[in-house]
Amino acid sequence: MKLSISEARKRLPALVRRVRRDAGARVEITVHNEVVAELRAVQPEPAPGAAAQSLLRLMKKMSKPRGRKLLISSHVKTHLYGPRGAIR
């Protein structure tokens, strides 16, 4: 949803309630038809040290020879942020 800044000011409490109810909702705030801000729900942060723990598990997994090598350095983001990664 796009709203002008003056309309967003008038409807701010209702917009906050909407975003709070629906975590996927976002409101784009415009000035002269140019988007300058976005209102959306806060995303949960990963647990402290989650990336380091994931890399340690991966190192442990890699130390066991299994025949085929994993090229972790070229796929770091996949291992950290993928479906089974540490940071979701």
Please name the CATH architecture into which domain 2-40 falls: 3-Layer(aba) Sandwich (3.40)
pLDDT, one tens digit per residue, over 38-69 is: 999 988 888 888 888 888 888 887 766 666 66
pLDDT above 70 as % of the chain: 78
Strands 34-40 and 2-4: unpaired
Residue 87 has pLDDT above 70, yes or no: no
Sheet holding 34-40, edge to edge: 2-4, 26-31, 34-40
Q: Whole-model pTM?
A: 0.51
SS3 5: helix
The per-residue pLDDT for 18 is: 93
Would you kindly state where each structural domain of the chain is located, as residue ranges? Answer: 2-40, 50-81
